[in-house]
């Protein structure tokens, strides 16, 4: 049993002391069997939320209407566990969340509502596995299979289509035939899903080791048609242009590659439709603009930064271009400054020294100083800068 489960075991044991069932469930159990890192330890129980709150003195109602209570078993966040009551679910009229849930005492009822067999596993405190839907066998065969009737699972929650594609990419699994058929016939329901949720799954897919498999299945399933701004020609171009062993280093690099292959000109408008942060939009925009720069020089290294230039070099190399990876490093080392805040003189200094007034002219002067220092045409030294400005003011 992994240390994460051992640390959480007292929570299960305490629930059992009060004559209720408790199990580790879902993705953490799957990841234990696959020898993958565990991120969240989820616990399912026959105890109802109010009963859990009586057992543990410190809890938070994080989703009590759906049966989830956060148990604070210790002072650190690693000792906080979401404990959820076994439940069944009603119709999903919004194709994302059930209209209401009913709490039950039966583990089997809870497990059969889950998405895929590999996620419908439970483990008790002694390490015994409960596998009612042959999830272990499917994992051994590297197969993603919906629990029960695939049409029902995807009709309940269309985001499961993107989750299946993401799991293919992260686990290097295939998709069982009837499950994939149901994904194709229900792909249109992705229009009902919030774009923020789709972004999370797609982003994880792109950062997976086998992102190519994920993109190929995205195309084959037809799900790509319901992703805002996606282009079949661009997806095909991305698959054919990047080397087979290439892996994206971060999200901005992955989305920059998408947009470059889509030949998207208005990066900001495209990404705003995906409701991502302004910071992320800026990161992707910088990478796309840097990629379109033919050669590195002092100005481009200063503008984009060494890390972005190296990410661009990686992308260009992945398309078969011959890249001198040391060039960006050498140019970066030749820069006197990497941000205008490193300039040794300020606007206030110039105003005092030359009786200049705040305004556009002062701004232009500061910008000129910055440009000259970046190009190594002016030394970032106070007296040298003052002499440069003096010459400009007097002439």
Give the model confidence (pLDDT) of 24-37 as tens digits. 999 999 999 999 99
Average pLDDT over residues 97-120: 89
* C-beta separation of 186 from 158 below 8 A: yes
Burial class (CB in 10 A: 0-12, 13-18, 19+), 201: buried
Quick one: which of 110, 121, 127 has its CA closest to 30?
121
* C-beta separation of 273 from 195 below 8 A: yes
315: pLDDT strictly greater than 70 = yes
What are the tens digits of pLDDT across the range 221-258? 999 999 999 999 999 999 999 999 999 999 999 999 99
Tokens at 180, concatenated: 């994939």
Nearest-angstrom CA–CA distance, 64 and 341: 49
Confidence of residue 356 (pLDDT cuts 50, 70, 90): confident
Q: Which residue has the higher pLDDT, 272 or 64?
A: 272
Tell me the percentage of the chain whose pLDDT exceeds 90: 87
* C-beta separation of 395 from 388 below 8 A: no
Average pLDDT over residues 139-144: 97
88: pLDDT strictly greater than 90 = no
Helix (H) or strand (E) holding 63: strand 59-63
CA 386 to mean position of chain CA atoms: 48
Name the average pLDDT for the chain.
Answer: 94
Tell me the percentage of the chain whose pLDDT exceeds 70: 97
* C-beta separation of 14 from 56 below 8 A: yes
pLDDT of residue 95: 59
Sign of the dihedral defined by the CA atoms of residues 52, 53, 58, 60, in that order: positive
392: pLDDT strictly greater than 90 = no
Quick one: which of 332, 294, 339 has its CA closest to 312?
294
What are the tens digits of pLDDT across the range 122-136? 999 999 999 999 999
What are the tens digits of pLDDT across the range 144-192? 999 999 999 999 999 999 999 999 999 999 999 999 999 999 999 999 9
Look up residue 227 and give its DSSP letter.
Answer: S
Q: pTM of the predicted model, to two decimals?
A: 0.89
What are the tens digits of pLDDT across the range 48-85? 999 999 999 999 998 888 899 999 998 888 889 999 99
99: pLDDT strictly greater than 80 = no
pLDDT of residue 395: 63
pLDDT of residue 355: 86
Confidence of residue 91 (pLDDT cuts 50, 70, 90): low
Nearest-angstrom CA–CA distance, 215 and 230: 12
251-260, 298-307, 328-337, 383-392: range with lowest mean pLDDT: 383-392
- Residue positions counted in the chain: 395
Confidence of residue 94 (pLDDT cuts 50, 70, 90): low
Quick one: which of 201, 106, 119, 102 has its CA closest to 161?
201
pLDDT of residue 97: 63
pLDDT of residue 102: 87
């Amino acid at each position: 049993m992994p240390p994460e489960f051992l640390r959480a075991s007292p929570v299960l044991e305490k629930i059992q002391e009060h004559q209720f069932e408790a199990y580790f469930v879902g993705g953490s159990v799957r990841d234990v069997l696959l020898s993958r890192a565990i991120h969240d330890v989820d616990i399912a129980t026959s105890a109802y939320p109010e009963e859990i709150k009586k057992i543990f003195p410190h809890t938070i109602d994080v989703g009590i209407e759906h049966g989830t209570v956060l148990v604070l078993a210790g002072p650190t966040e690693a000792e906080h566990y979401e404990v959820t009551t076994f439940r069944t679910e009603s119709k999903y009229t919004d194709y994302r969340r059930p209209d209401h849930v009913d709490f039950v005492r039966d583990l089997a009822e809870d497990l059969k509502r889950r998405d895929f067999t590999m996620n419908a596993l439970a483990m008790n405190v002694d390490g015994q596995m409960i596998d009612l839907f042959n999830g272990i066998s499917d994992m051994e065969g590297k197969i993603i299979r919906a629990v029960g009737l695939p049409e029902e699972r995807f009709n309940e929650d269309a985001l499961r289509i993107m989750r299946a594609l993401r799991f293919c990419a992260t686990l290097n699994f295939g998709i069982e035939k009837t499950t994939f058929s149901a994904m194709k016939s229900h792909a249109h329901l992705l229009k009902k899903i919030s774009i923020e949720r789709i972004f999370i799954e797609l982003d994880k897919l792109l950062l997976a080791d086998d992102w190519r498999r994920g993109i190929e299945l995205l195309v084959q399933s037809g799900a790509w048609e319901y992703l805002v701004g996606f282009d079949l020609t661009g997806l095909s171009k991305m698959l054919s242009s990047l080397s087979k062993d290439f892996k994206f280093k971060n999200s901005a690099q992955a989305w920059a590659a998408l947009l470059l292959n889509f030949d998207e000109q208005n990066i900001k408008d495209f990404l705003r439709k995906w409701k991502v942060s302004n910071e992320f939009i800026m990161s992707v925009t910088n990478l796309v603009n840097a990629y379109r720069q033919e050669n590195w020089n002092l100005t481009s290294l200063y503008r984009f930064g060494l890390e972005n230039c190296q990410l661009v070099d990686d992308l260009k190399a992945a398309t078969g271009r011959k890249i001198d990876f040391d060039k960006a490093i050498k140019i970066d080392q030749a820069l006197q400054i990497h941000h205008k805040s490193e300039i040794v003189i300020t606007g206030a200094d110039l105003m005092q020294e030359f009786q200049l007034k705040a305004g556009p002219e002062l701004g232009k002067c500061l910008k000129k100083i910055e440009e000259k220092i970046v190009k190594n045409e002016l030394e970032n030294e106070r007296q040298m800068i003052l002499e440069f400005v003096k010459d400009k003011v007097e002439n």
